[in-house]
């Protein structure tokens, strides 16, 4: 299955940023598509690292099994985002990637990508920026986990999702959560009950509307205000 980066409406979020026509076609040549049903895994921890994946449609989570056998979610990814970079360091993936809804990804074989990025400077730069962005993203999450209280974490989580929806042209004020309360909690270092309670509290305060997984942001400024509040 072939797919054309040159035709893709997500190329501004993806590795293809800034490439000219000719280079786009070279990138096209190494990309194939793959479809996943909800619940299917794109790769598992321990799998040999062969490719990176650009999400075309759908929604993913990445997670790690801790020593004690507990699952910890390390990220939620949506269309236009790249996953799999964790595998480069040891030639094996360290986390699992699971589709949270029916999804489609572009498969980019890593050795070919490396080769092409030696030839195309713009691609090389974009690749490095993507990896660096992942580092910065992880560090923001560290700050969130290390210094924020439960409600702040959840407010930050909702605002982050909202902003990423907007960047993709979806509504920033209402959307379906693709993950469970437990997965949110795992991501934010909280228990599912705490997540549920915070949702209920925000609901009572008129900040958001909650109907199961359907969320409406009713007062974005109110949520942002929670972030600026000091520690209490």
> Which member of 3, 10, 131, 159 binds its own copies (CB under 8 A)?
131
What gap in Å lies between CA 60 and CA 42, rounded to an integer?
Answer: 9
Nearest CB to its own copies, comparing residues 7 and 68 = 68
Does residue 219 touch its own copies according to CB under 8 A?
no
Q: Which token pair is 7?
A: 């035709």
Residue written as tokens 């800034």?
18
Cβ atoms of 104 and 58 within 8 Å: the answer is yes
Our CB check for DNA shows the closer of 53 and 202 to be 202
Q: Which among DNA, its own copies, none contacts residue 162 (Cβ within 5 to 8 A by kind)?
A: none
Stretches 9-17, 108-116, 128-136, 207-215: which one binds DNA (CB under 7 A)?
207-215
- H or E stretch including 208? strand 208-211
CB of 106 to its own copies, least distance (A): 19
**C-alpha dist (Å) from residue 218 to 22, 72, 170, 184, 206:** 46, 30, 16, 20, 7
Single out the residue of 49, 53, 58, 52 nearest to residue 76, CA to CA: 58
Dist CA 15 CA 61 (whole Å): 20
Q: Which of 89, 212, 221, 228 binds DNA (CB under 7 A)?
A: 212
> Site residues (CB under 7 A) for DNA?
149-151, 177, 180-182, 189-197, 199-200, 210, 212-213, 231-232
> Site residues (CB under 8 A) for its own copies?
64, 66-68, 70, 72, 74, 85-90, 94-95, 114, 117-119, 121, 124-125, 128-136, 138-139, 141-143, 145-147, 186-189, 227-228, 230-231
């Amino acid at each position: 299955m072939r797919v054309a980066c040159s035709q893709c409406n997500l190329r501004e979020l993806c590795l293809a940023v800034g490439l000219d026509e000719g280079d786009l076609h070279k990138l096209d040549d190494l990309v194939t598509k793959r479809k996943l049903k909800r619940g299917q895994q794109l790769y598992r921890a321990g799998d040999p690292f062969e490719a990176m994946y650009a999400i075309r449609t759908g929604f993913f989570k990445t997670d790690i099994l801790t020593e004690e056998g507990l699952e910890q979610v390390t990220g939620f990814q949506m269309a236009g985002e790249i996953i799999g970079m964790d595998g480069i360091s040891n030639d094996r993936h360290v986390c699992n990637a699971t589709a949270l809804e029916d999804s489609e990804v572009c498969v980019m074989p890593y050795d070919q990508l490396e080769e092409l990025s030696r030839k195309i400077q713009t691609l090389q730069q974009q690749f490095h920026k993507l990896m660096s962005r992942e580092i910065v993203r992880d560090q923001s999450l560290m700050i969130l986990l290390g210094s924020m209280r439960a409600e702040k974490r959840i407010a930050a989580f909702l605002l982050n999702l909202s902003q990423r929806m907007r960047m993709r042209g979806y509504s920033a004020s209402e959307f379906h959560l693709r993950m469970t309360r437990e997965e949110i909690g795992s991501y934010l270092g909280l228990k599912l009950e705490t997540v549920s309670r915070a949702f209920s509290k925000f609901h009572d305060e008129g900040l958001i509307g909650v109907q199961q997984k359907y969320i409406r942001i009713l007062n974005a400024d109110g949520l942002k205000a929670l972030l600026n509040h000091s520690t209490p």
